[in-house]
Amino acid sequence: MKRLLLVLAAALSVAAASAEPAQLAPMASFRNCTALHRVYPHGVGKYGARDHTSGTPVTNFRRSNKLYLQNRGLDRDRDGIACEKR
């Protein structure tokens, strides 16, 4: 049993090390949009959010209600997408 737990722990640490940064930090709070763009290049938003723009709307942002709530202070236009970027 102890050996099985050690094998499982090793497998989990390998899986975490090979995961993308976006998967490792689902609840991250960022200081500003520059820091957020390093991990999420097109911003983060709530499910169902729509970009308020007169041009082509941003649709390729990361959708996560929890992540958006951690960073909603970075959503200047209050459209449900923080730091949207084409």
CA atoms within a 13 Å half-sphere pointing along the CA-CB vector of 45: 24
pTM for this prediction: 0.66
Q: What does the domain layout of the chain look like in residue ranges? A: 20-82
What is the rounded CA–CA span in Å between residue 44 and residue 51?
A: 11
Starting at the earlier edge strand, list the strands of the sheet with 62-63: 62-63, 44-45, 81-82
What is the rounded CA–CA span in Å between residue 69 and residue 53?
A: 22
Tell me: the pLDDT tens digits for 21-63? Answer: 555 555 789 999 999 999 999 999 999 999 888 788 889 999 9
- C-alpha distances (whole Å) from 67 to each of 28, 35, 36, 37 are 7, 14, 11, 13
pLDDT at 18: 47
